[in-house]
Amino acid sequence: MEDFYDVKLTEIDGQAVSLFGVFDGHGGSRATEYLKENLFENLLKHPEFLTDTKLAISETYQKTDTDFLESESNAFRDDGSTASTAVLVGGHLYVANVGDSRAVISKAGKAMALSEDHKPNRSDERKRIENAGGVVIWAGTWRVGGVLAMSRAFGNRLLKPFVVAEPEIQEEHVNGDLECLVLASDGLRDVVENEVTTKHISLKTVRI
């Protein structure tokens, strides 16, 4: 099993903080295990977590990727992982995505994706990869270097710097219209539409 999830509920300086994450591994489970053990712990320790949450998320995710690669420098493997995460600080929801897992909310009865899948054939992603000296090749599906079917991930040392762990982050204000949030890997997203995943989930239910 290469997939993990993590949930942390805590309080910082009197502020309620909730963190949710889904990590979809490929090529082995070590990257997902490392994210489960370290990603949110590192984020909560960031000095600007409450004052500049977006910056804290971006810096922490990329630093955690670097730390993971260093920890595996002597290992004969090259696994990786996506990360679809949601950080709730007070009334602000921050959704950060690395890879092709997805975050979807239901707002006033309408499903809305808060992340866009990182696929190599996405025009901006392909341009970024090619500008870095990489190539996107068709091999059953579009793949970075003919190998990886996503353009961002933790790990995947052999595909750096083309496959990065820099997250795209969306912010949403939580009010009465926000009914639920669903985080899921491509195992669900490839076969179930966004609207279906949120249709029967109530405001008080969180499913990962």
CATH of the domain at 77: 3.60.40.10
> Structure pTM?
0.88
Element (H, E) at 181: strand 178-184
Q: If you average pLDDT over residues 90-114, what whole number do you get?
A: 92
In a domain, 71, yes or no: yes
Q: Are 162 and 168 in contact (CB under 8 A)?
A: no
Which pLDDT does position 194 carry in this prediction? Answer: 52
Q: Are 50 and 27 in contact (CB under 8 A)?
A: no
Which pLDDT does position 176 carry in this prediction? Answer: 81
In a domain, 206, yes or no: no
Q: What percent of the chain has pLDDT over 70?
A: 88
pLDDT in tens, 36-85: 999 999 999 999 999 999 999 999 999 999 999 999 988 888 899 999 99
Q: Which amino acid is at 156?
A: N
Q: How many domains does the chain have?
A: 1
In a domain, 147, yes or no: no
pLDDT in tens, 137-151: 999 999 999 999 999
- For residues 127 and 47, give the distance between their C-alpha atoms in angstroms, rounded to a whole number: 33
Q: Are 185 and 3 in contact (CB under 8 A)?
A: yes
Phi/psi zone of residue 151: left (φ > 0), alpha (ψ -120 to 50 degrees), beta?
alpha
Q: If you average pLDDT over residues 164-179, what whole number do you get?
A: 92
Task: Give the chain's length.
Answer: 208
Which pLDDT does position 207 carry in this prediction? Answer: 39
In a domain, 98, yes or no: yes
In a domain, 131, yes or no: no
Domain holding 181, by residue range, is 3-118+153-198
Comparison of pLDDT for 176 and 132, the residue scoring more: 132
In a domain, 140, yes or no: no
Q: If you average pLDDT over residues 98-118, what whole number do you get?
A: 91
Residue 208 has pLDDT above 70, yes or no: no
Which pLDDT does position 190 carry in this prediction? Answer: 55
Positive or negative, the CA dihedral 32, 173, 170, 115 is positive
Which pLDDT does position 49 carry in this prediction? Answer: 97
Which pLDDT does position 107 carry in this prediction? Answer: 86
